[in-house]
Structure formats: C-alpha cells, structure tokens
Amino acid sequence: MPWCPKCEVEYKDGVEVCVDCGTKLIDLDATDAENKCVIIKGPEDVVNKLTSFIKYNDVEAFVKQDEESDEYCLYVDKKDELQAKKIVTVFIQEEMKAKAEELAMQEATMESEEDDEEVQVEQRIIYTNSKVYQKSEEKAQEFKSSAYMLIVVGILGFAFLVMLHMGILPFSFANQTLVDIVMGALFLVFIVMGFMSFKSSKKYEEDSKEENLLTEKVTGWCDENLTAEIIDECLDKEDSEDIIYFKRTERMKELITDKYMNLHEDFLEHIIEEYYQKLFES
C-alpha cells in the first residue's frame, strides 16, 4: 500500500500525494524498492528513535512494518547507506554511554531510581551533528572563493555608484546622498568581508599543511598495521551486518588511538571511514 515517508501514514491504492503534507507517496512493493535498503530492524520505539536521529543528521529515512515478521524496518536510499550506518554507530555509542552513566548514577545514589529513569534517558539523547568531514584545504578554497566573490561585488558596486554620478547609467534617485551613503557602506562591508575571508583562507592553508603531514603519518601507519584479519578478530559468527560494522569501526578506532591518542574526533572518523571502505568495500 502507498504511504507517506514524512507523516508515516498509509493510504489506499490509487492515492499518490499525502493530504496532510503534500509529499509524494511511495510504495516499497513497487519499483521504488530497488533504490531503498534496510539499515536495521527492531521494536517500533527503538527504530523510531533511530529514524529521528538519522533525519536530524540530514539523511532521509522512514519506517515501515514488515508484514511477515511484524518487525519495524528503517529504510534509507542506497546512496545514503554508508552515511546512515555511520550515524547508527554514533547512535549506538551514545546509547551505550548513556546506559553506563545511568548505571553509575544508580549505584552512587540508590534513591528515586524508578522515578528518575525516564528523565535521565531523555536528557542523555544526544543528537550529534555527524556531518561529513571537511579538510582544511577544502575550507581554505571555500574561503578564498568567497573572498573573490565579495571583493568583486564590492568593487562593481562602487563602479556602479561612480557611473551613476557621471551620468553613464540612466538612473536617478530622489535622495542621491542617502543612496550613496547606504550603498557605499554596503559595498565597503563586502570588500572588508572579502579581505577577512582571504585572511581565514590563509589560516586554513597553514592548517592544511600540518593536517596533510598528519594524514600521511597516520595513513602510513594504517597501511603497515591495519588489516582485515586483525580487525575481524573482534567479530562473532552470529553478528549481524549492523553489529559487524559497529565492531569493526570501534576496533579500528581503538587501534589507531592506541598509537595516536590526541586525534580530533572528526579527523579520526574520517580516517576510519576511508580505511573501512578500502579494506571491506573496495
């Protein structure tokens, strides 16, 4: 049956658009299923919470109940599968941390644990913004592009005002002085912001040199020490695909941080993601 991926409401056959939000309905029993994949199955409350977490991180996801097993399935587009699995890993990590903190709290206080349990869990649902890692070199290029654009716009703006005063352009304003002040200030701000962006790009260019050296150092160590056999020592035969991904990435993080203890979390996740693809998906 067709249903709305946003409102999660099912409709009768023949209906194409959700009456509440206007979203186009989908039917996973039709050809659209070829572009979708199941990330995880489980109880409704757990799957719904994980779906909200994935949507918060800018990945389209929706839940549909499996008619045969009565389990709830979390679907994403196949192109988002790797990013969704990474987000699931973050979700599991945060849930495990929350449970560990909750148990420690209960052992320390031993009072009002039943009344406070629901509040404690809600307070610990951390929606981590797991965006794709961006290199300093890429940031430098973005700031440089913005700087060029802002400076060019500012210069063209002043050229416009000059041509306006010279009568080259066929425009006139009732209060020319006010226009000159307002537009001149605006174009001046563009130019100042452009030079500030240039300054930021220089900073990121310097950071990128150190970052590239560190990347070469860490990836070189990974080439020599990380193999699929070493990483898969942590796996059990009964592990599901989702648990395998989680255990592998945790094992890789453990091995790398044992050698390089103070790596930035985003940088470490970037290295792990690249090596995971190299070892298990290439």
Q: What is the pLDDT along the chain (282 residues), one digit of tens a residue?
A: 676 766 666 667 777 788 777 777 776 554 455 677 887 777 778 778 888 888 888 888 777 777 676 777 888 887 888 888 778 777 776 776 776 677 667 766 665 554 554 444 333 332 333 445 677 888 889 899 999 999 999 899 888 888 878 878 777 666 777 878 888 888 899 999 999 998 999 998 888 888 888 889 998 998 899 888 988 888 887 888 878 888 888 989 899 988 888 888 888 888 888 888 888 876
Residue 190 · residue 154 · CB < 8 Å: yes
Q: How many CA atoms lie within 13 A of 254 on its CB side?
A: 9
Q: Per residue in 48-78, is it b (16+ CB within 10 Å) or e — as a string? A: eebbebbbebebebbbbeeeeeeebbbbbee
Taking the C-alpha atoms of residue 39 and residue 179, their distance in angstroms, rounded to an integer, is 57
pLDDT of residue 5: 65
Q: Which of 45, 46, 77 is nearest to 61 (CA)?
A: 77
Q: In what order do the strands lie in the sheet with 72-77?
A: 36-42, 72-77, 61-65
pLDDT of residue 127: 34
Strands annotated E in the chain:
36-42, 61-65, 72-77
Report the residue count for the chain.
282
